[in-house]
Structure 1
Amino acid sequence: MPESIPSLSPFQVREWFNALPKDDFVGQRVLLIVPDATRTAPLPLLFDALFREVRPHCQSLDVLVALGTHPPMSDSQIARLLGIDDDERRRLFYQLQAFNHEWDRPERLLTLGTLTKQETEELSGGLLSLEVPVQINSRIKDYDLLLVLGPVFPHEVVGFSGGNKYFFPGIGGPEILNFFHWLGALITNAGIIGVKDTPVRRVVDAAASMIPQTRRAITLVVSSDNSLHGLYYGTPESAWSNAADLSSRVHIKRYDRPFKQVLSCAPPMYDELWVAGKCMYKMEPVVADGGELIIYAPHLHEISVTHGKLIEQVGYHVRDYFTKQWDRFKDYPWGVLAHSTHVRGGGTYENGVEKPRVQVTLASGIPEETCRRINLGYRDPKTIDVESFANREDEGVLLVRKSGEYLYRLNQ
């Protein structure tokens, strides 16, 4: 089980922000980069503490939501994310500009440079060798200091989230996103999640080093109940490294034996399968060969607002289904293919026969016909009694009530 790490009180959090080196912000135009609503974080407390301590010293402070390719948020949704009510937005935060990242608008992207074939081959350990343009949200040109504020969790593509990942893919362009997501897929979720030093992290850091503005980060480690266990400030690399070390103690649960069946309950913040796939990513290592992982999400009715049509064309498949038919799939966005393999998990594809290691079943608002078409199992969520899965670990059955952020691993 994870260690019992003390949590910080609101007073301690404000004292921590009070101790930030104010000289870093004097006279600076600051762009604060934050996660969207699909990440657990006490953002209202953190933003309020940051605003009170930093805003008096800087020339300006604006917010950019690191959406990656997630759907955009309205201004009122961003305000609520930061803990600002409508009256405060008009009276106290009228100077604050809040932006969504726009990954799919070429005119909103700035090209920083290119990762060469030699660089990508070296960074990927020989798995991929191609030129990759590095693009980022062009709004960074209007600021002196880019300040990341966000949590660190075990992550299926990069090992641990956070740090420079808020730049790529958070506010990055599609080419670099597709490149390193597919690199992570080639390594596989099981091989990369919860690992600190990964080829994908090296790619992300190399891309971030091209940013001309000063980069700083406030990283945090938070439990699923929003208890805050650690705060770190520094370069994105150093602040992330410290948070990843703590995340490995807070967010990883270990078991001696795998489970034949797991009911993985998606929280409401996962409102499409694109993000609810985390309920598989984090659980895959403890599902037995031939076992079943059920993503229980009665509230979920979308595969993906952004990528749904492409996913319905491709379906969910193991990695080798794509690599052994590469000419057929190479022109699809590689980020979509990566998502497909991560949800489907490990397995083989030999002589035209696909054999996933785990059965993945959706118990959601997505119809049975759609589930079958995208190569996932289906169960009517109304037929599932969640409590019937509780306290049955000795039988090989595991209930996870809020899945997607804690990584489950076997001790060996």
Structure 2
Amino acid sequence: MQEIKSEVISKKEYLSDSAINNYLNELSNEVIEGDVKSLLLVPPDYTRKSSSLGLITEKLYFKLKDRVENIDILPASGTHDPMSKQAIKSMFGKIPPEDFLEHNWRHDTIKVGEIPSRKMKEFSQDQLNDAVPLEINKNIFSEKYDLIISLGQVIPHEVVGMANYTKNIVVGCGGSQIINKSHFLGALAGMENIMGKDHSPVRKLYDYCQKEFLDQLPILYLMSVNSSISDKKTGLTKIKGIFTGSDRDSFEKAVAASQKENIINIRKQPKKIVVFLKEDKFKSTWIGAKAIYRTRMAVADG
């Protein structure tokens, strides 16, 4: 199918509902022009509900469901718990639960390649020497789908520097080895050294995976940049821009926009930060620790 590449960004405040709707209408038309019969949507899971991408996924689903033969949805849950029917309804609205697939990182992956030891040594500056098998959810490599649309928010991240793009597939739909080893690589690099930056050691690893093992797949990345503050009533953030494409160029544009929108510099470093974690979203220590990751660089030493 013909390459799809587009973007929309608000120069003043945030994108209006009508602007988002118009953008998704144009994107849907391009998908249909590409003669897509079977489509796989890969949105974030409930831990990223605030991204508003549940609503985007719902809109895209209903714009396309009567124009293609099949749509499946595979939330990129990584090692997180599977989404319940209640969580699916809360995040994705009226999409039928039976159209959702579940990512089981222990049992639903297949080996699609291996990152050689020499590359791991390069990415880690000689701190990691073992080759890493790349295992990805079998549905990503299924011949059933003419197009895979990966939806996610680009935002500063403690492991990879800037979240999303290939991370949504490699980790969100990945197996234990690539998840564990890439997170360890991020820890070796140091959160303070990579937070909010592109081209981190982990990003270089994911870029390698894209080039060597994913480039042949019909993956289209739809990436949003959102406000840092969520709405008190809905819990959702507002969308500043949407960047869609299959190459790194679209990701880099989203990174630049997110760095302007989501990196907040404060005049005085606080001695203490109190964080409230919503119990329906932060159900594990693994996820709850983000409260520390995202604030530690702002806290005063001592």
- Structure 1 length-normalised TM: 0.63
Aligned partners of 2:82 and 2:154: how far apart in 1? 22
**Structure 2 residue 219 is the aligned partner of structure 1 residue 215:** yes
For residues 207-253 of structure 1, the C-alpha deviation after alignment (integer angstroms, 9 at most, x for no partner) is: 23303421111111122332111111111533322222111111111
- Give the corresponding residue for 1:266: 277
- Give the corresponding residue for 1:133: 133
Structure 1 counterpart SS, 2:243:
strand
What one-letter code is carried by the residue in structure 2 that aligns with 1:12?
A
Q: Rg bigger for which structure? A: 1
Instruction: Kindly indicate whether the alpha-carbon contact (under 8 Å) linking 1:152 and 1:161 is maintained by their aligned counterparts in 2.
Output: yes
Instruction: Kindly indicate whether the alpha-carbon contact (under 8 Å) linking 1:10 and 1:45 is maintained by their aligned counterparts in 2.
Output: no
For residues 345-381 of structure 1, the C-alpha deviation after alignment (integer angstroms, 9 at most, x for no partner) is: xxxxxxxxxxxxxxxxxxxxxxxxxxxxxxxxxxxxx
Aligned partners of 2:166 and 2:33: how far apart in 1? 19
For residues 269-298 of structure 1, the C-alpha deviation after alignment (integer angstroms, 9 at most, x for no partner) is: 2232211111111111121222xxxxxxxx
- Unaligned 5+ residue runs, structure 2? 1-10, 232-236
Q: Structure 1 residues 215, 36: closer, same or farther in 2, change over 3 A?
A: same
What one-letter code is carried by the residue in structure 2 that aligns with 1:279?
A
What one-letter code is carried by the residue in structure 2 that aligns with 1:130?
D
Aligned pair count reads 277
- Give the corresponding residue for 1:70: 80
2:261 alignment partner, one of 250, 260, 266: 250
Q: Structure 1 residues 163, 236: closer, same or farther in 2, change over 3 A?
A: farther
Aligned partners of 1:235 and 1:182: how far apart in 2? 27
For residues 267-326 of structure 1, the C-alpha deviation after alignment (integer angstroms, 9 at most, x for no partner) is: 442232211111111111121222xxxxxxxxxxxxxxxxxxxxxxxxxxxxxxxxxxxx
- Structure 2 length-normalised TM: 0.85
Aligned partners of 1:245 and 1:12: how far apart in 2? 21
Higher relative contact order (CA 8 A, sep 6+): 2
Aligned partners of 1:144 and 1:114: how far apart in 2? 25
Q: Structure 1 residues 236, 57: closer, same or farther in 2, change over 3 A?
A: farther
- Unaligned 5+ residue runs, structure 1? 291-412
- Give the corresponding residue for 1:177: 179
CA shift, 1:59, in A, is 3.4
What one-letter code is carried by the residue in structure 1 that aligns with 2:110?
L
Instruction: Kindly indicate whether the alpha-carbon contact (under 8 Å) linking 1:167 and 1:208 is maintained by their aligned counterparts in 2.
Output: no
CA shift, 1:5, in A, is 4.9
Structure 1 counterpart SS, 2:265:
strand
Q: Normalized per residue, which structure has more strand?
A: 1
Identity of aligned residues (%): 29
Aligned partners of 2:124 and 2:220: how far apart in 1? 26
CA shift, 1:72, in A, is 0.8
CA shift, 1:36, in A, is 1.0
- Give the corresponding residue for 1:307: none
For residues 29-85 of structure 1, the C-alpha deviation after alignment (integer angstroms, 9 at most, x for no partner) is: 22110111111122343123312433344332110011110011124432332111x
**Structure 2 residue 146 is the aligned partner of structure 1 residue 144:** yes
- Give the corresponding residue for 1:238: 249
Instruction: Kindly indicate whether the alpha-carbon contact (under 8 Å) linking 2:160 and 2:200 is maintained by their aligned counterparts in 1.
Output: yes
